[in-house]
Amino acid sequence: MKNWIAGAFGAACMVVAGMAAAQDLMVEKKVFELPSFTTQGGRTLKNVKVGWESYGTLNADKSNAILICHFFSGNSHAAGKYDAKDAAPGYWDAIVGPGKAIDTNKYFVLSSDTLVNLNTGDPKTTTTGPASLDPDTGKPYALDFPVVTVGDFVNVQKALVESLGIRKLALVAGPSMGALQTWEWAASHPEMVAKAMPVIGAAEADAQLIAWLDVWAAPILVDPNWNKGAYYGGTPPNAGLAKALAVVTLQANHGDWTNGTFGRRPAKEGEEPTKALGNRFQVQSILDNAGEARAKVSDANHFLYLVKANQLFAAGGTSLANGASKIKAPVLLITQPKDLVFTADTIGRTVEGMKQGGVDISHITIQGSRGHLDGVISMKQAEGAIRAFLEK
Protein backbone atom coordinates (compact mmCIF):
# COMPACT_ATOMS: atom_id res chain seq x y z
CA MET A 1 0.00 0.00 0.00
CA LYS A 2 2.92 2.33 0.67
CA ASN A 3 4.01 2.44 -2.93
CA TRP A 4 0.78 3.61 -4.51
CA ILE A 5 0.21 6.28 -1.90
CA ALA A 6 3.82 7.44 -1.87
CA GLY A 7 3.66 9.29 -5.16
CA ALA A 8 0.95 11.85 -4.63
CA PHE A 9 1.11 12.24 -8.34
CA GLY A 10 3.38 9.30 -9.07
CA ALA A 11 3.23 5.62 -8.29
CA ALA A 12 -0.40 5.95 -7.21
CA CYS A 13 -1.31 7.29 -10.59
CA MET A 14 0.51 4.58 -12.48
CA VAL A 15 -1.07 1.69 -10.63
CA VAL A 16 -4.65 2.85 -11.04
CA ALA A 17 -4.15 3.98 -14.62
CA GLY A 18 -2.61 0.61 -15.36
CA MET A 19 -5.80 -1.16 -14.39
CA ALA A 20 -7.51 0.55 -17.31
CA ALA A 21 -4.88 -0.30 -19.86
CA ALA A 22 -6.06 -2.69 -22.52
CA GLN A 23 -2.58 -3.42 -23.82
CA ASP A 24 1.00 -2.49 -23.00
CA LEU A 25 2.85 -0.02 -25.16
CA MET A 26 6.60 -0.64 -24.93
CA VAL A 27 8.74 2.51 -24.73
CA GLU A 28 12.38 3.47 -24.45
CA LYS A 29 13.80 6.28 -22.31
CA LYS A 30 16.21 8.60 -24.14
CA VAL A 31 18.31 11.61 -23.17
CA PHE A 32 18.27 15.06 -24.77
CA GLU A 33 21.23 17.36 -24.17
CA LEU A 34 21.71 21.08 -24.71
CA PRO A 35 25.36 22.21 -24.66
CA SER A 36 24.17 25.60 -23.41
CA PHE A 37 20.86 26.89 -22.05
CA THR A 38 20.07 30.38 -20.81
CA THR A 39 17.34 30.64 -18.20
CA GLN A 40 14.68 33.33 -18.22
CA GLY A 41 16.60 34.88 -15.34
CA GLY A 42 19.66 35.27 -17.57
CA ARG A 43 21.92 32.54 -16.20
CA THR A 44 23.62 30.27 -18.74
CA LEU A 45 23.93 26.59 -17.85
CA LYS A 46 26.23 24.11 -19.59
CA ASN A 47 25.36 20.55 -20.58
CA VAL A 48 21.68 20.60 -19.66
CA LYS A 49 20.17 17.12 -19.87
CA VAL A 50 16.59 15.88 -19.65
CA GLY A 51 15.11 12.45 -20.25
CA TRP A 52 12.35 11.91 -22.78
CA GLU A 53 10.29 9.20 -24.42
CA SER A 54 7.86 8.86 -27.27
CA TYR A 55 4.94 6.71 -28.45
CA GLY A 56 3.75 6.25 -32.02
CA THR A 57 5.42 7.36 -35.24
CA LEU A 58 6.19 10.86 -36.49
CA ASN A 59 4.68 11.28 -39.96
CA ALA A 60 6.52 12.53 -43.03
CA ASP A 61 5.61 16.19 -42.67
CA LYS A 62 5.96 16.02 -38.86
CA SER A 63 2.47 17.40 -38.31
CA ASN A 64 1.12 14.72 -35.95
CA ALA A 65 3.18 15.44 -32.81
CA ILE A 66 1.60 15.78 -29.36
CA LEU A 67 3.51 16.88 -26.26
CA ILE A 68 2.53 15.64 -22.79
CA CYS A 69 3.89 17.65 -19.84
CA HIS A 70 4.18 16.02 -16.42
CA PHE A 71 3.01 16.93 -12.91
CA PHE A 72 5.01 18.15 -9.89
CA SER A 73 6.41 14.82 -8.71
CA GLY A 74 6.19 13.00 -12.05
CA ASN A 75 8.52 12.46 -14.95
CA SER A 76 8.24 11.76 -18.67
CA HIS A 77 6.60 8.36 -18.20
CA ALA A 78 3.13 9.26 -19.44
CA ALA A 79 2.19 5.89 -20.96
CA GLY A 80 3.34 2.38 -21.74
CA LYS A 81 6.02 0.31 -20.03
CA TYR A 82 9.79 0.20 -20.23
CA ASP A 83 9.72 -3.54 -19.66
CA ALA A 84 6.93 -6.11 -19.82
CA LYS A 85 7.66 -6.96 -16.18
CA ASP A 86 7.03 -3.40 -14.96
CA ALA A 87 4.34 -3.33 -12.28
CA ALA A 88 2.39 -0.54 -13.95
CA PRO A 89 2.42 1.64 -17.08
CA GLY A 90 2.78 5.43 -17.27
CA TYR A 91 0.37 7.70 -15.45
CA TRP A 92 -1.91 8.61 -18.41
CA ASP A 93 -1.88 5.16 -20.01
CA ALA A 94 -5.69 5.13 -19.84
CA ILE A 95 -5.85 7.85 -22.52
CA VAL A 96 -2.52 7.54 -24.39
CA GLY A 97 -1.90 4.50 -26.59
CA PRO A 98 -3.14 2.54 -29.61
CA GLY A 99 -6.84 3.21 -30.15
CA LYS A 100 -7.13 5.37 -27.03
CA ALA A 101 -8.27 8.99 -26.77
CA ILE A 102 -4.78 10.19 -27.71
CA ASP A 103 -4.30 7.52 -30.33
CA THR A 104 -0.67 6.53 -30.93
CA ASN A 105 -1.73 4.82 -34.17
CA LYS A 106 -2.42 8.35 -35.40
CA TYR A 107 -0.21 10.63 -33.32
CA PHE A 108 3.45 10.81 -32.34
CA VAL A 109 3.33 11.54 -28.62
CA LEU A 110 6.38 12.70 -26.69
CA SER A 111 7.06 13.66 -23.10
CA SER A 112 10.17 14.85 -21.26
CA ASP A 113 11.49 15.22 -17.74
CA THR A 114 11.59 18.83 -16.53
CA LEU A 115 14.55 20.73 -15.21
CA VAL A 116 14.92 20.27 -11.42
CA ASN A 117 12.89 17.06 -11.64
CA LEU A 118 12.15 15.61 -8.21
CA ASN A 119 13.08 12.00 -8.99
CA THR A 120 16.87 12.19 -8.87
CA GLY A 121 17.16 8.67 -7.44
CA ASP A 122 15.12 7.08 -10.24
CA PRO A 123 17.41 5.57 -12.91
CA LYS A 124 14.71 6.28 -15.51
CA THR A 125 14.79 10.03 -14.80
CA THR A 126 17.35 12.42 -16.28
CA THR A 127 17.36 16.04 -15.18
CA THR A 128 19.60 19.02 -14.49
CA GLY A 129 19.21 20.79 -11.18
CA PRO A 130 20.80 21.51 -7.78
CA ALA A 131 21.93 17.89 -7.34
CA SER A 132 23.74 17.94 -10.70
CA LEU A 133 27.48 18.53 -10.96
CA ASP A 134 28.44 22.03 -12.07
CA PRO A 135 30.84 21.46 -15.00
CA ASP A 136 32.91 24.44 -13.85
CA THR A 137 33.50 23.17 -10.30
CA GLY A 138 32.91 19.43 -10.46
CA LYS A 139 30.68 19.77 -7.40
CA PRO A 140 26.87 19.76 -7.03
CA TYR A 141 25.32 23.15 -7.75
CA ALA A 142 23.24 23.06 -4.53
CA LEU A 143 21.67 26.53 -4.09
CA ASP A 144 24.05 28.05 -6.63
CA PHE A 145 21.71 26.59 -9.24
CA PRO A 146 19.65 29.45 -10.68
CA VAL A 147 15.96 29.88 -10.01
CA VAL A 148 14.10 28.32 -12.91
CA THR A 149 10.55 28.87 -14.09
CA VAL A 150 7.81 26.94 -15.82
CA GLY A 151 8.86 29.00 -18.84
CA ASP A 152 12.33 27.47 -18.60
CA PHE A 153 10.80 23.99 -18.49
CA VAL A 154 8.91 24.84 -21.67
CA ASN A 155 11.93 26.33 -23.43
CA VAL A 156 13.93 23.13 -22.87
CA GLN A 157 10.99 21.16 -24.27
CA LYS A 158 10.84 23.55 -27.23
CA ALA A 159 14.50 22.83 -28.00
CA LEU A 160 13.77 19.08 -27.85
CA VAL A 161 10.74 19.42 -30.13
CA GLU A 162 12.66 21.53 -32.65
CA SER A 163 15.59 19.07 -32.62
CA LEU A 164 13.13 16.50 -34.03
CA GLY A 165 12.18 18.86 -36.86
CA ILE A 166 8.72 19.53 -35.43
CA ARG A 167 7.49 23.03 -36.14
CA LYS A 168 3.99 22.80 -34.71
CA LEU A 169 2.38 20.56 -32.10
CA ALA A 170 -1.08 19.16 -32.80
CA LEU A 171 -1.72 19.27 -29.04
CA VAL A 172 0.04 20.21 -25.83
CA ALA A 173 -1.49 18.68 -22.71
CA GLY A 174 -0.70 17.74 -19.14
CA PRO A 175 -2.04 17.51 -15.57
CA SER A 176 -1.32 19.82 -12.62
CA MET A 177 2.16 21.29 -13.15
CA GLY A 178 1.77 19.80 -16.62
CA ALA A 179 -1.24 22.08 -17.05
CA LEU A 180 0.90 25.08 -16.11
CA GLN A 181 3.38 24.07 -18.82
CA THR A 182 0.48 23.67 -21.26
CA TRP A 183 -0.80 27.19 -20.51
CA GLU A 184 2.76 28.51 -20.87
CA TRP A 185 3.25 26.79 -24.22
CA ALA A 186 -0.01 28.26 -25.55
CA ALA A 187 0.80 31.78 -24.33
CA SER A 188 4.55 31.98 -25.06
CA HIS A 189 4.73 29.95 -28.28
CA PRO A 190 1.27 30.35 -29.86
CA GLU A 191 2.63 29.71 -33.36
CA MET A 192 3.68 26.20 -32.31
CA VAL A 193 0.48 25.08 -30.55
CA ALA A 194 -2.55 23.96 -32.58
CA LYS A 195 -4.59 22.90 -29.52
CA ALA A 196 -4.08 22.95 -25.76
CA MET A 197 -5.50 20.68 -23.07
CA PRO A 198 -4.57 21.76 -19.53
CA VAL A 199 -5.88 19.36 -16.87
CA ILE A 200 -6.42 20.20 -13.16
CA GLY A 201 -4.47 23.45 -13.44
CA ALA A 202 -5.17 27.19 -13.57
CA ALA A 203 -3.42 29.74 -15.78
CA GLU A 204 -1.91 31.56 -12.82
CA ALA A 205 -0.66 30.75 -9.32
CA ASP A 206 -2.78 32.90 -7.03
CA ALA A 207 -1.85 34.00 -3.51
CA GLN A 208 -3.61 31.02 -1.93
CA LEU A 209 -1.60 28.53 -3.99
CA ILE A 210 1.63 30.44 -3.37
CA ALA A 211 1.00 30.17 0.37
CA TRP A 212 0.11 26.48 0.20
CA LEU A 213 3.29 25.76 -1.74
CA ASP A 214 5.18 27.43 1.09
CA VAL A 215 3.52 24.96 3.48
CA TRP A 216 4.70 22.13 1.24
CA ALA A 217 8.28 23.39 1.47
CA ALA A 218 8.34 24.22 5.20
CA PRO A 219 9.28 20.76 6.60
CA ILE A 220 12.44 20.72 4.49
CA LEU A 221 13.53 24.18 5.60
CA VAL A 222 13.31 23.29 9.31
CA ASP A 223 15.16 19.98 8.93
CA PRO A 224 18.67 20.68 10.35
CA ASN A 225 20.17 18.34 7.75
CA TRP A 226 19.03 20.70 5.00
CA ASN A 227 21.93 22.98 5.98
CA LYS A 228 20.84 25.76 3.62
CA GLY A 229 20.98 23.32 0.72
CA ALA A 230 24.59 22.22 1.32
CA TYR A 231 23.94 18.59 2.24
CA TYR A 232 25.49 16.78 -0.75
CA GLY A 233 28.15 14.37 0.47
CA GLY A 234 26.49 14.35 3.90
CA THR A 235 23.15 13.38 5.40
CA PRO A 236 20.22 14.55 3.25
CA PRO A 237 17.18 16.16 4.90
CA ASN A 238 14.98 13.15 4.19
CA ALA A 239 12.88 13.55 7.34
CA GLY A 240 11.77 16.99 6.21
CA LEU A 241 11.37 15.85 2.62
CA ALA A 242 9.26 12.88 3.70
CA LYS A 243 6.90 15.13 5.65
CA ALA A 244 6.75 17.55 2.71
CA LEU A 245 5.75 14.70 0.42
CA ALA A 246 3.11 13.59 2.93
CA VAL A 247 1.62 17.11 2.82
CA VAL A 248 1.56 17.02 -0.99
CA THR A 249 -0.14 13.62 -0.96
CA LEU A 250 -2.81 14.81 1.43
CA GLN A 251 -3.67 17.97 -0.50
CA ALA A 252 -3.62 16.10 -3.80
CA ASN A 253 -6.41 13.90 -2.46
CA HIS A 254 -9.79 14.70 -0.89
CA GLY A 255 -11.67 13.97 2.31
CA ASP A 256 -13.89 11.55 0.43
CA TRP A 257 -10.80 9.38 0.03
CA THR A 258 -9.21 9.80 3.47
CA ASN A 259 -12.50 9.34 5.32
CA GLY A 260 -13.67 6.49 3.12
CA THR A 261 -10.35 4.65 3.19
CA PHE A 262 -9.09 5.19 6.74
CA GLY A 263 -11.79 6.75 8.91
CA ARG A 264 -10.64 7.06 12.52
CA ARG A 265 -8.93 3.67 12.74
CA PRO A 266 -5.74 3.47 14.81
CA ALA A 267 -2.44 2.81 13.05
CA LYS A 268 -1.97 -0.36 15.11
CA GLU A 269 -4.68 -2.52 16.60
CA GLY A 270 -4.71 -2.15 20.35
CA GLU A 271 -2.80 1.15 20.31
CA GLU A 272 -5.69 3.59 20.62
CA PRO A 273 -4.71 7.23 20.01
CA THR A 274 -6.47 8.14 23.26
CA LYS A 275 -4.04 6.05 25.30
CA ALA A 276 -0.72 7.75 24.52
CA LEU A 277 0.59 10.80 22.70
CA GLY A 278 2.64 8.58 20.38
CA ASN A 279 -0.29 6.36 19.39
CA ARG A 280 -1.41 7.38 15.93
CA PHE A 281 -4.29 7.12 13.52
CA GLN A 282 -3.93 4.95 10.43
CA VAL A 283 -4.15 7.91 8.07
CA GLN A 284 -1.14 9.53 9.78
CA SER A 285 0.92 6.39 9.59
CA ILE A 286 0.11 5.68 5.96
CA LEU A 287 0.93 9.22 4.81
CA ASP A 288 4.21 9.28 6.71
CA ASN A 289 5.31 5.83 5.55
CA ALA A 290 4.53 6.83 1.99
CA GLY A 291 6.47 10.08 2.29
CA GLU A 292 9.47 8.24 3.71
CA ALA A 293 9.48 5.74 0.85
CA ARG A 294 9.27 8.46 -1.77
CA ALA A 295 11.94 10.62 -0.12
CA LYS A 296 14.53 7.89 -0.67
CA VAL A 297 14.45 8.48 -4.45
CA SER A 298 13.85 12.25 -4.37
CA ASP A 299 15.93 15.36 -3.68
CA ALA A 300 14.97 18.08 -1.21
CA ASN A 301 16.55 20.97 -3.11
CA HIS A 302 14.83 19.88 -6.31
CA PHE A 303 11.54 19.89 -4.38
CA LEU A 304 12.19 23.48 -3.27
CA TYR A 305 13.08 24.61 -6.79
CA LEU A 306 9.89 23.04 -8.13
CA VAL A 307 7.92 24.88 -5.44
CA LYS A 308 9.49 28.18 -6.51
CA ALA A 309 8.79 27.56 -10.20
CA ASN A 310 5.13 26.87 -9.43
CA GLN A 311 4.82 29.93 -7.19
CA LEU A 312 6.24 32.18 -9.92
CA PHE A 313 3.86 30.87 -12.57
CA ALA A 314 1.60 33.09 -14.65
CA ALA A 315 0.93 32.06 -18.26
CA GLY A 316 2.89 34.31 -20.57
CA GLY A 317 5.07 35.51 -17.70
CA THR A 318 3.11 38.31 -16.05
CA SER A 319 -0.61 37.83 -15.45
CA LEU A 320 -3.73 35.90 -16.35
CA ALA A 321 -4.95 38.74 -18.56
CA ASN A 322 -1.62 38.98 -20.38
CA GLY A 323 -1.51 35.24 -20.95
CA ALA A 324 -5.06 35.12 -22.27
CA SER A 325 -4.32 37.88 -24.79
CA LYS A 326 -1.51 35.79 -26.31
CA ILE A 327 -3.26 32.42 -26.62
CA LYS A 328 -4.49 31.61 -30.13
CA ALA A 329 -5.15 27.86 -29.81
CA PRO A 330 -8.54 26.44 -28.80
CA VAL A 331 -8.39 25.12 -25.23
CA LEU A 332 -10.05 22.14 -23.58
CA LEU A 333 -9.76 22.58 -19.81
CA ILE A 334 -10.48 19.48 -17.71
CA THR A 335 -10.86 19.86 -13.95
CA GLN A 336 -12.24 18.16 -10.83
CA PRO A 337 -14.65 20.33 -8.76
CA LYS A 338 -13.35 18.90 -5.46
CA ASP A 339 -9.72 19.74 -6.28
CA LEU A 340 -7.96 21.11 -3.17
CA VAL A 341 -4.87 22.33 -5.06
CA PHE A 342 -6.48 24.23 -7.94
CA THR A 343 -9.83 24.95 -6.35
CA ALA A 344 -13.09 25.51 -8.20
CA ASP A 345 -12.99 29.28 -7.64
CA THR A 346 -9.44 29.45 -9.01
CA ILE A 347 -10.49 27.50 -12.09
CA GLY A 348 -13.51 29.77 -12.46
CA ARG A 349 -11.26 32.84 -12.59
CA THR A 350 -9.12 31.18 -15.26
CA VAL A 351 -12.14 30.32 -17.41
CA GLU A 352 -13.57 33.83 -17.10
CA GLY A 353 -10.18 35.41 -17.82
CA MET A 354 -9.70 33.28 -20.91
CA LYS A 355 -13.15 34.16 -22.23
CA GLN A 356 -12.54 37.87 -21.64
CA GLY A 357 -9.26 37.51 -23.53
CA GLY A 358 -11.05 36.00 -26.52
CA VAL A 359 -9.76 32.45 -26.05
CA ASP A 360 -11.87 29.63 -27.52
CA ILE A 361 -12.14 27.62 -24.30
CA SER A 362 -14.29 24.63 -23.42
CA HIS A 363 -14.44 23.45 -19.81
CA ILE A 364 -15.48 20.00 -18.65
CA THR A 365 -15.25 18.29 -15.27
CA ILE A 366 -14.52 14.76 -14.11
CA GLN A 367 -15.67 13.16 -10.87
CA GLY A 368 -14.21 10.88 -8.21
CA SER A 369 -13.18 10.60 -4.58
CA ARG A 370 -9.57 11.69 -5.08
CA GLY A 371 -9.92 15.40 -5.83
CA HIS A 372 -6.88 16.77 -7.63
CA LEU A 373 -5.50 13.29 -8.24
CA ASP A 374 -8.55 12.36 -10.32
CA GLY A 375 -6.97 14.46 -13.09
CA VAL A 376 -4.36 11.72 -13.35
CA ILE A 377 -6.06 8.47 -12.38
CA SER A 378 -9.64 9.09 -13.57
CA MET A 379 -8.98 10.56 -17.01
CA LYS A 380 -10.77 7.81 -18.90
CA GLN A 381 -13.99 9.67 -17.98
CA ALA A 382 -12.89 12.43 -20.38
CA GLU A 383 -12.08 10.08 -23.27
CA GLY A 384 -15.04 11.13 -25.42
CA ALA A 385 -14.41 14.84 -24.91
CA ILE A 386 -10.70 14.45 -25.73
CA ARG A 387 -11.45 12.53 -28.94
CA ALA A 388 -13.98 15.15 -30.03
CA PHE A 389 -11.57 17.99 -29.25
CA LEU A 390 -8.78 16.42 -31.30
CA GLU A 391 -11.09 15.71 -34.22
CA LYS A 392 -12.70 19.16 -34.26
DSSP strand pairing (361-365 vs 331-335): parallel
Instruction: With H, G, I as helix, E, B as strand and everything else as coil, classify residue 351.
Output: helix
Angle at 126 between CA 161 and CA 211, to 5 degrees: 90
Instruction: With H, G, I as helix, E, B as strand and everything else as coil, classify residue 357.
Output: coil
- Greatest Cα pair distance in the chain: 69
Can 176 be counted among the known catalytic residues?
yes
Round to whole Å and give the CA distance between 319 and 368. Answer: 31
Element housing 198 (H / E):
strand 196-199
Round to whole Å and give the CA distance between 78 and 53. Answer: 9
Candidates 176, 188, 298, 378; catalytic one: 176
Candidates 152, 288, 339, 374; catalytic one: 339
Give the residue among 44, 361, 328 at the shortest CA–CA distance from 202. Answer: 361
Round to whole Å and give the CA distance between 359 and 327. Answer: 7
Intra-chain end-to-end CA distance of the chain, in Å:
41
Round to whole Å and give the CA distance between 92 and 74. Answer: 11
Q: Is the dihedral of CA 130, 14, 209, 259 positive or negative?
A: negative
In the sheet with 171-175, reading across from the earlier edge strand, the strands are 30-38, 44-55, 108-112, 65-68, 171-175, 196-199, 331-335, 361-365
Give strand pairing partners of 67.
Answer: 110, 172
Round to whole Å and give the CA distance between 44 and 138. Answer: 17
Angle at 242 between CA 149 and CA 293, to 5 degrees: 110
Round to whole Å and give the CA distance between 328 and 61. Answer: 22
Element housing 108 (H / E):
strand 108-112
Round to whole Å and give the CA distance between 247 and 227. Answer: 21
- Which residues are annotated as catalytic? 176, 339, 372
